[in-house]
Amino acid sequence: MSNGSPTVRWISLLLLLAFLSGVVFPHLKTEAHPAPGSPAKISPDLGQAAHGPHANARVSVIIQFKQDPGAAFESEVSNRAGRTKAKFQNLRMHVIEVPANAVEALAARPEVAFISPDRSNIAFGHVTATSGADVIRATNGTNTTGLDGSGIGIAILDSGIDTNHTAFLDRSNNQRVIVNRDFTGEGRVDDPYGHGTHVASIAGGNGRISNAQYTGIAPNVNLINLRVLGATGLGNISAVLNALEWVIANRSTYNIRVVNMSLGAPAVDSYRNDPICRAVRRLVDLGVVVVAAAGNNGVNLSGQKVYGQIHSPGNEPSALTVGAANTFGTDGRADDAMTTYSSRGPTRSGWVDGFGIKHYDHLIKPDIVAPGNKLIYAEAANNYLVTQNPALDAGVSPVDGRRMMYMNGSSMATPVAAGAAALLLQANPSLTPNMIKALLMYTAQPLAGYNMLEQGAGEINIEGAVRAARLVRTDLAQCTVAGTPLLTTAVPPVPQTTIAGHTFTWSQGIIFKYHFATGSELITRYQPIYGLGFLMSDGVVVSDSLVSDGTLLSNGVVVSDGVVVSDGTILGSGSLILSFGVLVSNGVVVSDGVVVSDGILTSDAVFGQSSVAQAMSATTRGDPTSTMTVKVDAGVDCLSY
């Protein structure tokens, strides 16, 4: 029996999942740090810098506070030769520059919660038909009678948007990029890098070019351009925090209901401490859907599959984390698969206790996947990516403002989900972020041959999600009792969708942080965890068995303890699922090349230049077996999208 046989691969995946569940899951029961020893208040890499050979070097750090700091803290910073660079009042965070050897003294102050470096972010790099968006969007001449995102604002945190591109006009030639802000310090809001324009057009580009061949998911949505990545695609965490602070302050003014983050930083610190994750949680609790890319580090430089490379803020449980699927250029979904490069879970961020022991988060991520391989969408004029890689121009048009380019990655899959969230909110404005996550997972299509650490609940199905969203009651509130009817009808939606002649069954389940829940009550009965201020797993009590507490999760929901989506079926607690406590001995090699040893995956805590180069390579290269069909633009606007 060869190492690549289905049987060996299946057993290997079970061993990997058993290892992860046995080693990590039992001690993760609440949001509090459960292990002995006081949790460290400094990120591990920052602590090393404070005691390293360059301890006197100045570092830029992000300080999170338990309460608003007073003048005494400002004086302490000044006394230690530091300076405050930025203050984010809504997030209760400051960015300061200070000698590395002064960080521990600042962390010792009672008002300080956690200190981490101002790390760098990088951009990760036929869709409406295959995603199901076309099914719910009917047209009548030039007037759309279906859903197109009208009135909803999507904030695009990226490298900028080329607002001169035709893709961003409405049907009356008005600009739909309604806000432009720069947080990079470069003093510009266009897109010299080229990533943000492509991302924005996937979420909300119109159908004017090439007879609507490259229409975005929500083609009449309002776009908010928040530039956090510079001219070469790099940026700092502080720029992202600044943009998220701005969203909190201005979300009502522009009806920002969705934030798209097709970018990521290395997920070193636990989501409980990571500043971007904390900011994302704040936004979600305020009712804003935050969609984050999983990352493009699913294989190492030798082409071997690796687990555990979900980036921040994709490691945040309240975010909708999206991986990249490959549609092979067809509208039908029978041949869809995972891309090789899409980052896999579990999350490997963690925290260090007072004894120096690291505890990993190990969340099941991504939540869902969406088309992300070789997508053709808007090309910013004279952008860096095409200048360095001329083959990325798709040959659609020679005219600036109508050019289109290829890109790949979870960066491209993320705005598919962001556009889908906008459509759900247009269909039912009362939906909360948790409800939107639940609907997208419940209606997703499990892809055959891939486990949950690769695809989450499955591939996005906009038709099914919108059909279910339209049935959800609009009078639900935080005080609604668990088990109350969720829908306006006694007959639940049929859990199947047909796209391009192919009918598939929904996953009919949702992912919690460490488990997978199934049951018709997820869609027919109100679950208080769908409200604001909760995580999707808050109703789960982990003890000798996995149960709901009856208050936050109705008793008809079944929670499984090690579920994997593989050959198109959802496995329960049968004989194929190994129980908690089963360990894999050191040196066991999973057949696809992943080595499991000492509880550490090969990708653990590694995010050097090679990983950055690999992520960028996925953005420009992609998997070679799939591409959208090129339709040359005639130069005449199509308004019937």
The domain spanning residue 101 has which CATH number? 3.30.70
Distance CA 431, CA 473 (A): 9
Give domain status of residue 483, yes or no: no
Among 135-144, 328-337, 432-441, which is the least confidently predicted range? Answer: 135-144
* Same-domain status, 278 and 182: yes
Q: Which of 436, 458, 474 delimits the end of a domain? A: 474
Distance CA 333, CA 127 (A): 11
Cβ–Cβ under 8 Å, residues 204 and 218? yes
Could you write out the DSSP letters of every residue in 8-51? HHHHHHHHHHHHHHHHTGGG--SSS--SSSPPPSB-HHHHHHHH
Neighbouring C-beta atoms of residue 243, cutoff 10 Å = 25
Mean pLDDT of 143-171: 91
Give domain status of residue 615, yes or no: no
Q: Which of 474, 499, 532 delimits the end of a domain? A: 474
* Same-domain status, 428 and 342: yes
518 falls in which pLDDT band (50, 70, 90)? confident
The order of strands in the sheet holding 58-65 is: 83-88, 93-99, 58-65, 112-117
* CA–CA distances in Å: residue 591 to residues 195, 306, 320, 536, 597: 35, 11, 30, 33, 14
What is the model's pLDDT at position 625? 63
The residue that leads in pLDDT, 516 or 248, is 248
Q: How far apart are the first and last CA of the chain?
A: 52
DSSP at 585: P
Cβ–Cβ under 8 Å, residues 118 and 61? yes
Cis peptide before 346 (omega within 30 of 0): yes
Q: Which residues are catalytic?
A: 158, 195, 411
* Same-domain status, 130 and 101: no
Q: Which of 57, 82, 107 delimits the end of a domain? A: 107
Give domain status of residue 563, yes or no: no
* Same-domain status, 96 and 139: no
CATH of the domain at 413: 3.40.50.200
* Same-domain status, 272 and 300: yes
* Same-domain status, 55 and 173: no
Cβ–Cβ under 8 Å, residues 207 and 219? yes
Could you write out the DSSP letters of every residue in 101-144? GGHHHHHTSTTEEEEEE--EEEE---HHHHHTTGGG--EETTEE
CA neighbor of 561 nearest in space, from 573, 576, 549: 573
* Same-domain status, 225 and 95: no
* Same-domain status, 207 and 339: yes
142 falls in which pLDDT band (50, 70, 90)? very low
* CA–CA distances in Å: residue 71 to residues 26, 103, 111, 327, 553: 43, 18, 12, 56, 45
pLDDT at 607 over 80: no
What is the model's pLDDT at position 200? 98
613 membership: H or E segment, kind and range:
helix 609-620
Report residue 187 as tokens. Answer: 């003093």
Give domain status of residue 464, yes or no: yes
53 falls in which pLDDT band (50, 70, 90)? confident
Q: Residue 434 class from Cβ within 10 Å (0-12 exposed, 13-18 middle, 19+ buried)?
A: buried
Report residue 617 as tokens. Answer: 């390579």
628 falls in which pLDDT band (50, 70, 90)? low
Q: Residue 479 class from Cβ within 10 Å (0-12 exposed, 13-18 middle, 19+ buried)?
A: exposed
Report residue 21 as tokens. Answer: 């569940």
Distance CA 235, CA 458 (A): 31
Distance CA 277, CA 62 (A): 13
Cβ–Cβ under 8 Å, residues 258 and 296? no
* Same-domain status, 91 and 170: no
24 falls in which pLDDT band (50, 70, 90)? very low
Q: Could you tell me the residue range of the domain that residue 377 belongs to? A: 124-474
Give domain status of residue 384, yes or no: yes
Give domain status of residue 484, yes or no: no
Structure confidence by residue, pLDDT tens digits, 572-600: 332 222 222 222 222 222 323 232 222 33
Distance CA 170, CA 473 (A): 31
* Same-domain status, 247 and 102: no
* CA–CA distances in Å: residue 393 to residues 165, 366, 400: 15, 30, 12
* Same-domain status, 325 and 386: yes
For the chain, what percent of residues have pLDDT higher than 70?
80
Helical ranges in 206-285 per DSSP H: 237-250, 275-285
What is the model's pLDDT at position 585? 28
Give domain status of residue 546, yes or no: no
Among 45-59, 265-279, 386-400, which is the least confidently predicted range? Answer: 45-59
Cβ–Cβ under 8 Å, residues 565 and 312? no
DSSP at 233: S
CA neighbor of 85 nearest in space, from 76, 97, 70, 102: 97
Cβ–Cβ under 8 Å, residues 420 and 131? yes
Distance CA 70, CA 161 (A): 39
Report residue 496 as tokens. Answer: 């199947």
Please count the structural domains in the chain.
2
Give domain status of residue 223, yes or no: yes
Helical ranges in 360-471 per DSSP H: 384-388, 410-427, 433-442, 452-455, 462-469
* Same-domain status, 303 and 339: yes
What is the model's pLDDT at position 562? 52
